[in-house]
Structure 1
Amino acid sequence: MADMIQVSVHSDVPVFRQIIAQLSFLIETGDLKPGQVLPSARMLADNLHINRNTAARAYAELAKLGLVESRGRSGTVVVGPSPAHQGSAAREEARRILESAARQCVDLGLTAAEIQSLAMSVAIRAEDHMLKVSFVECNADRAEYFASALEAAVSIKVKPLVLGEFSPEDEQADLILTTFFHLAQVRNLPRRPGTEVVAIVVAPHVQTLMQIASVPKSRTVGIWYRTDDQAVTVRDWLQDAGLKNLRILHDLEGAELDGIDLVVIPDQQPELKAALEPKVNVIEFGNVLDAASIRMVNEVVRDMQAAKRGDVTVV
């Protein structure tokens, strides 16, 4: 496989990014197939005459992208392209554009290796000028759910991040989105200069509304969230919905559950729900993106993209 990769220490593109770009391409096009074992970082580094840490970093980034997976002694294995990427209209259009450009470059006398190197350099520069957006939540399922919803609403790639599981200083986001639940926590995280933090509003899902409406007003409802601020917000919302016997829980075992008829927990936490259901009824408090927040994020993204391109000056 090393013969399929070419890197240049003289390029203005970092070597680890050259490796990522080329391996991503080989995986996405099927030249490297799911289940195929990649050479070890040491072997790849020796073949390319680079530092082993550089090769290891490239593999780690590919794992974050979901393209490869480390399986201990079995090595690093190709997982394959994301199902969302396979056969997508955008990828097919991109392939058409690149094929046309590649033929023109061949007509100009460039070799396949020269075209590959030039295309990678141009693509990485273009990517560097793209607005980088992340969404931060308290667990992976919710982070991925809201990041995906925002991508569809705003038409820009949104990276899901989980509180406590990433290094803020290493994140290259220009814009970090989160819910008002976590705004204070995210703002207090160290981050690179110039990164904007914006909170969005989430509203109860219609299924949550239906479940809440069916709860008898005499029931005693426990509320468990990771932070008191979240629990208080949900408690206030439930009070407005007409429920009176509400109790914020700090523990989900023992005496805390005595006298509780049902417990409200965040959605997208299957393990927590499974642990509670044998003891007490559970309602998952599901959320959807607020329409006004989507419009606000669209405006913020539009202005930041224009500023990044140099179209406008943001004061």
Structure 2
Amino acid sequence: MTFAEKLKELRKQKGISQEQLAEKIYVSRQAITKWESGNGIPDIENLISISNLFNESLDSLLSEEKSLISKHEFLYESRTEYDFDSPKKIDLRLGTAHEVIIEKTKDEKILVIAASNKLSYLAQQVKVKIVENKKRMDVVVKHSADLSDIAAEENLFILIKIPERFVADVELTSELENLKIRDITFDAIEFDGKAKFVSVTNACGHVELNTNSNLNIQVKAAKGKLDLNQIHAVSKIRFDENQKYYLKNAGRFTRFIDSNSNILIGKRNLEDPSEATDLIVELNGWKSEAQILNTEQEKENESDSE
């Protein structure tokens, strides 16, 4: 089912008109008509609003709208490859982009794909430089002076494929809309910068998010640890209904909130789980909140309110 079909079906199931849906997510009725006609897909902020309204994960909404970068359907694309010979710490300095995807490859080369449908001079405007030594590899994406940060944030997609034999520690610095970590096993991936949406899917390792942005995070089939290091931020974490997790409130004046905005964990808790779990979610920093959105719990809440 396409996104257009899915949106129309969800709207009708909820018994609301296009105009009512538009009012709920603060867009025009014409925008709803456009999306339901298959003439476009909402931006990430509107997708998140739709996801929250209908209690549907973004993966479910976009199940048939696979990322263009995975299907290599961009008009403009540039590729950079580099051979690996041993595990190394990888430092990714990617600058500004709309979306960054990190996943594994069975090849023994790291592959960096920069892609866009609107940046017709992509090959001249976006350059990838890779430098390595025995223990470290630096991947730097540089923009030419005539490519604005706004244009990059709206139109630049970057895919990083790392050889599964050599994945170790990854440090990522970027300002972006979407960060996707998927189908990969690693020691640690540490993100510094700005983001709006983060998804961790079928991934195993320690993910550390150092950002004061208000994040929307989706987690599915993840194992290991997820750290949120934030100051004065309010983030939302949506777990797949089969995801097992443990919440650890390790910050100062930080707390976990449930889907009804009630306090789940308000006191500092530094204890590790007493029983086995797939994922430990640790909230660090100062005066930040993380709202836990669980698909199964939300459906129960919705039935209670009917």
- Is the structural similarity TM-score above 0.5? no
State the TM-score, normalizing by the size of structure 1.
Answer: 0.24
Higher helix share: 1
Higher strand share: 2
